[in-house]
Each structure stands twice: as C-alpha cells, then as structure tokens.
Amino acid sequence: MEPEKQSFFSTNFIRFLGGTNTLFTLIALVLLGLVIFIFREVSFIFNPLSVFMKTVVLPVVLALILYYLLRPILRLLEGFRIPRIWGILIIFLGLVGLITLLVVLVFPFLKTQFQNLIMEFPNYFMQLLTDLDAFLRTSYIGDYYTGSSFDIEQLVATLPGNITDTLQNTVTTIISGVTGLISTITSVILSIVIVPFILFYLLKDGEKLPEYFVKLLPPRLRHDTREVLSEADKQLGAYIQGQIIVAFCIGVMIYIGFLIIGMDYALLLGVLAMVTSVVPYLGPAIAITPAAIIALVTSPFMLVKLAIVWTVVQLVEGNLISPQVMGKTMFIHPVTIIFVLLTAGSLFGIAGVILGIPMYALVRVLVSHLYKLFKRRYNRHEPALENKYDYTELN
C-alpha cells in the first residue's frame, strides 16, 4: 500500500508552528499591516483619542506611582484591623500634613538657595573658565594653546552678554507662546487635581482590578494571564518602592556629606541628587556636575573632598542599600539599562528616561512568559530523546 503523501501542513516544522493555524496567522499579519497602513492614512480621525490619551497618561502614571508607594502602608494598617476606607483616610491626612510641612519649612529655604545658585552660577562658570585658561597656559601644552585661535578670555568677556541674550530670547519665546504655556500649566494642574481621586479608587479597589480583567478572558487564558499580571505587579512594585527609597537615602547621604565638608548649597544639591537618582546611571552624572563646578571653583581640596563623599555614597548605595532594598527582583544588567535609557530617551524624551526601566520590566515579564509558553509547545510537539533516532516505526 502506497504511503499517504505528506502535505505541507503535516510536516513536523509546520505542525510545531501550528499547522493550518500558521496560514491563518500569516493572513492575520497581512491584514494587521493593512489596518496599520489605513490608520496612518486616516490618522486625523483619531486625534481626539490621542488628546484623550495625552490628558489621561500623566495623572494615571502619578497615581500608579503613589499607589505602589502607599499600598504597603495600607496593608500595614489593615494588619492592625483598621478598615480599608479608614486606612485610606489616614494615609490621605498624613500626605496632606507632610506636604504642608514641606511647603512651610523646606520649600522656602530651597527656593532661596535655588535663586542664589541661579544668580551665582554664571560667576562660578566664568571663574572655572578663567582657572582653566591659567592652567592651560602654564601646562606642557601651553605653547600649542596660546598659538591656537581659541581665546578663552574673549569667551569669558562675552559670556554675560550671551547669557542675557539667551534669557531675552527665552522670555520672548515664552511670551509669544503664552497660550500654549497656559494650556500646558492648566493640564498639569488638572492632572494633579485628578490624581487624588484616581489614587483613592486604586487604593480601594486596585487589588481587585486584575481579577476583574481576568474574568473577561476565556477560561483557557485565565491562568497564564493571572501569572503575567501577578509578576508585572511584583516587578512594578519592587522597582518603584525600591527606587524611591534608594533615591531618598542617596539624597540624605549627599546632604550630610556636603554639610561635613562645608559645601555650599548642600541641601539643594542633596535634593537634586535625590531627584535625579530616580534615573539609573544618568541621574548621578547630572547631579554631580554643578557640585563639581562649585567645588572646583572653591578650592582643589574641596574637589578632593567632594570626590571622597561621592565615592563613599556610591559604595554604600551599590553594596548595602540597593541589594537590601531592591534585592534580585529587578536585576537588570547595567549595559541593558544604558541601552534602554538611551532608546527610551530618544523616542519619548524625559518621560522615556524616567519610565523606560519599568516599561522594560513589564515587557520582559511578558516576553519571558511567552517564551515559557513557546517551550511548553515545543516540548509537546518534539519527540522524546530516546525515540528521536528510532527509525523502526518508519519501516
């Protein structure tokens, strides 16, 4: 009897990919491409949806960050048998008190330091250029430097005028775009006003939302979806809570260290280090730049003391604080972090730099789970090793 001819869709490779489902998948991809092409041609129809998304994203992101920060506190209060609603009320009252305390005691001092630093920073920068010019003239490349066309003294002389022109141009641009500025400020204020309402409902029902979503799916997809959502929630919570705690510790250590060595604007520089430390690797480089300029202009010995403080802070943070706070739940290779930050920053600007790592963590969770499903499907369709080279069944 002549053996039945094997069709294209019954080969091992195509059966592994899904058999006839492969054909339907390819057709679905072609249709998806056509849909994307059509949407690009009629994108103006979706402008209202784009405006809606831009309006909603900021308050939702802020509320999610606060939700992951405050959820452990809410669980702690519930552990003391305080009802959830009362726990949320206590948290909100505590936030209002903390914000009031910051506005009354800390912000005025920070504002004064910031204004003084803005006024004096051009002088620091010009003094740095002058010292650099004197150093280069007396160094072993002094002959090459003096013979070049670069005149640092002329640059120092024209720098105040350039700064004034830049400020005037900036003011003119702001005045000409005052409508857009007012619109932006209004949207930010509205977002901040909306955040407490979103945060309240997230704290109240946030832990139930994944289960509501899972119930909308077919039963065969619920288990895997529940695993993905649980792991994504764990990754986001670990990252947000860990980064905020680590950034706060860095800011406190920088402030104390700068106070010990007598650095000017210690509190402002500590707050700057705390804020920028939310962005790995790039944040510390941004924070140390103004501190290094101030220290270098003050005295070379101050620069040495700054380097010692910064090294101690980085060692304590890298070897003690981060391993204890972050653990291994968000371990990402430093090279991967750099590539993610560069790519996200190029695509989405500052928002991409800040949100790039948590978004990467979510994508990694999804991809790793899909890979797990892929291996499960592979093991189901691949013959066992002991039978892989057994050809007796073919004879």
Does residue 249 form part of some domain?
A: no
* pLDDT tens-digit readout, 48-105: 777 777 777 778 888 888 999 999 999 999 888 899 999 999 999 999 999 898 888 8
Task: Give the single-character DSSP code of 291.
Answer: H
Does residue 282 form part of some domain?
A: no
Does residue 136 form part of some domain?
A: no
Are 88 and 71 contacting, i.e. CB atoms less than 8 angstroms apart?
no
- Integer Cα distance of 318 and 349 in angstroms: 27
Does residue 344 form part of some domain?
A: yes
Between 222 and 150, where is the model more confident? 222
Q: How confident is the model at residue 395 (pLDDT cuts 50, 70, 90)?
A: very low
Structural domain span for residue 357: 332-394
Does residue 62 form part of some domain?
A: no
Does residue 377 form part of some domain?
A: yes
Which region among 1-5, 210-214, 251-255 has the lowest average model confidence (pLDDT)?
1-5
pTM beyond cutoff 0.95: no
* ∠ Cα 311 317 326 (to 5°): 160
Q: What is the chain's alpha carbon radius of gyration, rounded to the nearest angstrom?
A: 29
How many domains is the chain built from? 1
Mean pLDDT estimate for the chain? 77
Does residue 114 form part of some domain?
A: no
Go through 270-282 and write b for each residue having 16 or more CB atoms within 10 A of its CB, e for each that does not.
bbbbbebbbbbeb
* Exposure of 234 in the CB half-sphere (CA atoms within 13 A): 14
Query: With 0-12 CB in 10 A as exposed, 13-18 as middle and 19+ as buried, what is 356?
Result: buried
Does residue 212 form part of some domain?
A: no
Residue 385 has pLDDT above 60, yes or no: no
